[in-house]
Chains A and B, each alone.
Chain A
Amino acid sequence: MEHTGLNLTLKVWKQKNAATKGAFESYDVKNISTDMSFLEMFDVLNEQLISTGKEPIAFDHDCREGICGMCSMVINGRPHGPWNGTTTCQLHMRAFKNGDTITVEPWRAGSFPVVRDLVVDRSAFDRIIQAGGYVSINTGNPVDANALPIDKKLADKAFAAAACIGCGACVAACKNSSAMLFVSAKVSQLALLPQGQPERSSRVLSMVDQMDKEGFGNCTNTGACEAECPKEISLENIARLNREYMSAALASEE
């Protein structure tokens, strides 16, 4: 296989902290292998910067195998870059051509303040989960895993919703910075399963309430979130969230 060396120009957002104003800075990288991931290309650039005594670029990353949800870059206007159903760490440099100029920005949303450079504070998501994204388990003898019959179709839907890694690409892609796809996935994965039933209506009410408190925008069904989601979470979940919310708000006594 050919490992073409790419020469690229990167325009990267640099910002010292949340209080200061940021700006784009240009960097040239040379001889980048097409087999590298986008983050590895950043590693090469940072090595280069460190060796010349310059400040490296701060970016979030952890597992580098597409399941942790830490990496968060808007590459040429698209969260996680040009490939569909892919996180930034799984985006490979073969997606680009020699001589390309690539613009890299952090997630942009009022609810995701920039911590530094490409790192944003996504703790708003944690607070939404704390508001209701859990199930209560009674202690006692362990129950056999297969004792509770669950419709295969529902199990599949719950599993597909649970694939959400909470990266926030949905918020980054949405013109309204809405977190509806994230919240809907988290509500769905529990509402679809018997284990999620006890807190079903209080969960959706508190999670949506927290989502609004965090200052995320309203959903206008443009579908940008679904298109950019690295885990391809379906808009069907947002419809389910709307149903869950409506019935909980109408029927619950809370």
Chain B
Amino acid sequence: MGLTGLFLISFLLVHCGINACIFLNDNGETFNKAAHFMGTNLFIRTAEIGLFLGLLIHIIQGLVLTYENNKKRPIKYAVNAGNQNSKWYSRSMGLLGTLLLIFLIIHMGDFWTHSRVPGLVGGLPEVEYDGVVYHDLYAKMVEEFKEVFVVILYVISMFSLGFHLLHGFSSAFQSLGINHSKYNPMIKSVGFGFSIIIPLLFALMPLSIYFGLIK
């Protein structure tokens, strides 16, 4: 879980970095070009296979782990004081992960499928910069985030992501055997910062498009 988790964290960083280009207020030009690079570069496309594999392993392992662990206490406690010895999000990783999985399916249906299987769900609008035609993924974003329900779903899902990361980031290191008095404070603070900044940036994207804060 830890290994695939850290791999997916590195993906989040890249994904968030590229999407944050929309905040440059250039009508999505930089973002569209960056997305074009990600969609056409052979190395990135190969890495994408690894990403799906990592994601699949993480999901299957997580679901199996949750299912297995739930069976280990056939008779539950009548009084449970779990909140006095651990964080709710640490105990709810299976639930948070399932919410993220549902979000992921919807999210990929919203964007990824339009780029990869346009024949099935309809392609993306196009735009021309300096005589070269690009997919206008930004226009697609603007279109998607006109709907208030979509915006709410995306923002709520980012809370799930934040709490999932709040446990997952440092937990990944512990699982890999990295627990050292010299590095623990760094892992803890970087993990805390990451869990807030990345989901916050992601959540700001639909919000700022919906409220017309970027052009």
A contact set with B: CB distance below 8 Å: 11, 24, 74, 76-78, 103, 105, 108-111, 173, 175-178, 215-224, 227-228, 235-236, 238-240, 242-243, 246
Contact = CB atoms under 8 A, between A and B. Distances in A.
Contacts of B84: 77-78, 227
Nearest to B181: A236
Interface residues of B, number: 30
A122 B177 CA distance: 27
B171 A103 contact: no
A77 B93 contact: no
Given A220-B93, A227-B85, A110 B171 contact: no
Contacts of A246: 176-177
Contact of A227 (B75, B86, B174, B177): B86
A103 to B, nearest CB: 5
B87 interface: yes
A176 B176 CA distance: 19
Contact of A220 (B65, B71, B75): B65
A221 B79 contact: no
A223 B93 CA distance: 14
Nearest to A216: B72
A228 B84 CA distance: 9
Interface string B61-96: 000010011011111111111101111001101000
Interface string B160-180: 000000010001001111110
A236 B180 CA distance: 8
A227 B81 CA distance: 12
B177 A105 contact: no
B71 A110 contact: yes
A222 B177 contact: no
Contacts of B68: 217-218
Given A108-B77, A218-B69, A227-B86, A242 B171 contact: no
B176 A220 contact: no
Contact of A224 (B76, B77, B82, B177): B82
Nearest to B89: A222
A76 B79 contact: yes
Contacts of A111: 72
Contact of A228 (B73, B76, B85): B85
B210 to A, nearest CB: 36
B183 to A, nearest CB: 11
Given A227-B86, A228-B85, A240-B177, 7 more contacts: A74-B79, A109-B72, A177-B72, A216-B72, A218-B68, A220-B69, A221-B167
Interface in B23-40: none
Contact of A223 (B85, B175, B178): B85
